Chain A
């Protein structure tokens, strides 16, 4: 039973993981992205549509990344080049994503595709408890494991990662060192958005291979909260995403088991849990255990009077 729960935890947590990783890259560059929910939907729809038309899952994932990359570029353009208000722009992106996917997804409601299949890693998949959950999953989940490590490596062991972190902490300092600040910020937002799109695609290509209007149901917002929980680190993001996945899996289990508690009340659990996590993470931030990127949420204008 625990095995099944762990497996469900990983699967439920994966879309959130991709989204959180993408959001972390955004915020490390200093840009708040509240458009995660809309980007996930855009990725979910375009991934589903591309796979439905072409029959290729890989094409679906690529399509999800590319469309979300482009949508994220709007946010990037407004926040970086146009010095716009990051919160409003993110909200606009979410609204836009919800609406435009509802509009263009009309024709795909009810259609089905062959979703991602599991591939077992020999030997490891026979491990007790975690064997199925970690080593008998589909390609996207394995990719997500790799992504966590790659992102950590990027930030702490590459020059580009150090530059990006500097841009997010003190863009004036980065500028003074000769780093092209706007370019880094733009690419970070666009690329991170692309990852968020893949998270959405996981929903429509693997988790429940279909398209339903508004199928993310608030997962994007949970990812925004988890970034703070993760202290902007990719490994903690993994932990946070699976924690959330676990709550979701348990809640679904309870519903399936048929408790007296109303389904609606159970469905509240992930959201309540996220609020609790947010409170705890914020308190930890206050105590100085970790700090958010110094320039998070602020525009950068070289000519600002110093």
Chain B
């Protein structure tokens, strides 16, 4: 097989961070090549270098054995390289047609809509999709949006397609459909770079696998040369991975009951639609579902950040939906938000200050109107020791910390008041394995202390590993509960697409 693309000794740094240290790998024509590595290994960064978003500090890229450097995404597209990014490149307010048109070449200045419409509609049909071209994109499901991204590339006739963690937002059934398309492309002689950290997928579709670890390419293996264990060993770093034990069975006492809760969003649609849930004391309740099915609304409704349209929330049997008892109860709910940097921390404030973001009014941190700096610093030192946070110099802005440490700061803050309930929304997203395990350890230890956790995640492996029960959410409604020990992935996958199993 001839080499379509070669990357040699790519190095990329950002202020204070070495994202890529020394990466080399190649892609042949007509192969599906997987880039495997844990979160933070540098997979997305490498692809951003390839597509021209980032300029590498050093290294070579060879296309068809010719050295080439892409100064912008425009150039890489012109060379036939296209990418479906993890964070979609769509305009929610524009229609499907407008989003696709923008990506096409050779569209005349005053575009003849009818011809283009026909051509696009044809491509959509070829892939068995059902999309109205004039629908604004925000109305579509995330899975459909990803298909639009793919169509953009297919219509541009790319030679090399890069997909960055595409199955993160797909049910197992939708993922299978995607794989069928990829095999079809391979048969047409196109190449695919498939980025993932999910080993089972890698086993299923890869011709070759390149493993990335901490910004370095470790090795490239051919199909047949590897299995899940070997990949796992190569992928995981040498950091001490915290170990923890699953706690003993929990009590049957109901600590939280949600009864037909409905929440509307600012576009008037129901994010939560008669949603019901029961949480037991000391339980770790996982919530499975493709992102965008109401998870965020659930977390926000429980923590008082969004208004409830109808329904009830009962705490230990008492209705707290609208009473002022709610605010004191909410004070007892800890919340790990979805997007650490955007919602979880005040980026310019120091670590000390972020740790007291929630309880800065507490008597021990103040002397009347004034803050007690010594008490705040003492508290910070305690938390740094307790949670093993790798802090920077005293007083430096907290955004300079690594993702894992930022998550530790948030956890330290949220758990400092010994909450009864913890609502964690995708808490291990983007974290390396060591940090992810740490989050699980904290949740498991909390459960041992009687803290109940609602763990919302799109990673079925994670949910299987740690949850006592798993609830499935779809379009703002509860589909059902399953036991991790007995339910199969296919079962949950079907529930995630809304099928209620008898």
Contact = CB atoms under 8 A, between A and B. Distances in A.
Direct contact of A and B (CB under 8 A): yes
B329 interface: no
Contacts of A170: 89-91
A178 B90 contact: no
A208 interface: no
With a 10 A CB-CB cut-off, give which of A170, A172, A176, A179 has the most chain B CB atoms: A176
A162 B85 CA distance: 21
B71 to A, nearest CB: 10
Interface in A143-184: 157-160, 162-163, 165-166, 169-170, 172-180
Given A162-B98, A178-B73, A302 B91 contact: no
A303 B90 CA distance: 18
A178 B89 CA distance: 12
Interface string B127-170: 00000000000000000000000001000000000000000000
B74 interface: yes
A294 to B, nearest CB: 7
A180 B92 contact: no
A306 interface: yes
B85 to A, nearest CB: 7
A110 interface: no
Contact of A178 (B14, B77, B87, B88): B77
B266 A177 contact: no
Nearest to B78: A178
Contact of A303 (B53, B88, B108, B111): B53
Given A158-B110, A159-B111, A288-B268, A294 B93 contact: yes
Interface size class on chain A is 20 to 34
Contacts of A178: 72-74, 77-78, 103, 105
A77 to B, nearest CB: 20
Given A159-B111, A177-B77, A169 B266 contact: no
Nearest to B107: A159
B295 to A, nearest CB: 21
A291 interface: yes
B109 interface: yes
Interface string A229-273: 000000000000000000000000000000000000000000000
Interface string B104-126: 01011111000000000000000
Contacts of B89: 170, 172-173, 176-177
A153 to B, nearest CB: 9
A302 B77 CA distance: 16
Contact of B85 (A158, A169, A287, A306): A306
B44 interface: yes
Contacts of B152: 177
User: Quick one: which of A165, A172, A177, A287 has the most chain B CB within 10 A?
Assistant: A177
A177 B109 contact: no
A157 B107 CA distance: 12
A287 B268 CA distance: 8
A163 to B, nearest CB: 7
Contact of B109 (A159, A175, A294): A159
B83 interface: yes
Interface string B241-276: 000000000000000000000000011100000000
Nearest to B101: A162
A184 B105 CA distance: 17
Given A175-B73, A178-B78, A294 B92 contact: yes
Given A159-B107, A291-B93, A179 B87 contact: no
B6 interface: no
A176 B73 contact: yes
Interface in B47-78: 48, 51, 53-55, 72-74, 77-78
| Category for how many chain B residues contact A | 35 or more
Contacts of A291: 93
Interface in A283-306: 286-288, 291, 294, 302-303, 305-306
Contacts of B101: 159, 162
A166 B95 CA distance: 11
A177 B103 contact: yes
B91 A173 contact: yes
Among B78, B91, B92, B101, the most chain A Cβ lie within 10 Å of the Cβ of: B91
Nearest to A168: B91
B83 A176 contact: yes
A157 B98 CA distance: 11
Contacts of A174: 102
B322 interface: no
Interface string A203-229: 000000000000000000000000000
B337 to A, nearest CB: 19
Nearest to A290: B93
Nearest to B91: A169
A157 B103 CA distance: 16
Contacts of A158: 109-111
A73 B360 CA distance: 46
A166 B111 contact: no
A180 B107 CA distance: 16
A166 B72 contact: no
B94 to A, nearest CB: 7
- Which of A157, A294, A302 has the most chain B CB within a 10 Å cutoff? A302
Contacts of B98: 162, 166
Contacts of A169: 91-94
A144 to B, nearest CB: 23
A294 B91 contact: yes
A179 B105 CA distance: 10
Contacts of B44: 306
Nearest to A169: B91
A174 B109 CA distance: 17
A179 B267 contact: no
A180 to B, nearest CB: 7
A6 B150 CA distance: 54
A303 B92 contact: no
Nearest to A174: B102
Interface of A: 157-160, 162-163, 165-166, 169-170, 172-180, 286-288, 291, 294, 302-303, 305-306
The 3 A-B pairs at the shortest CB distance, nearest first, are namely A173-B89, A178-B74, A169-B91
Given A159-B109, A163-B102, A305-B14, 20 more contacts: A159-B108, A159-B111, A162-B102, A165-B91, A165-B94, A166-B91, A166-B98, A166-B102, A169-B92, A172-B89, A176-B53, A176-B85, A177-B77, A177-B103, A178-B77, A179-B74, A294-B92, A306-B44, A306-B53, A306-B85
22 contacts: A157-B110, A157-B111, A158-B110, A158-B111, A159-B107, A162-B101, A165-B94, A169-B91, A169-B94, A173-B89, A173-B90, A173-B102, A175-B53, A176-B85, A177-B102, A178-B72, A178-B74, A178-B78, A180-B74, A288-B266, A291-B93, A302-B72
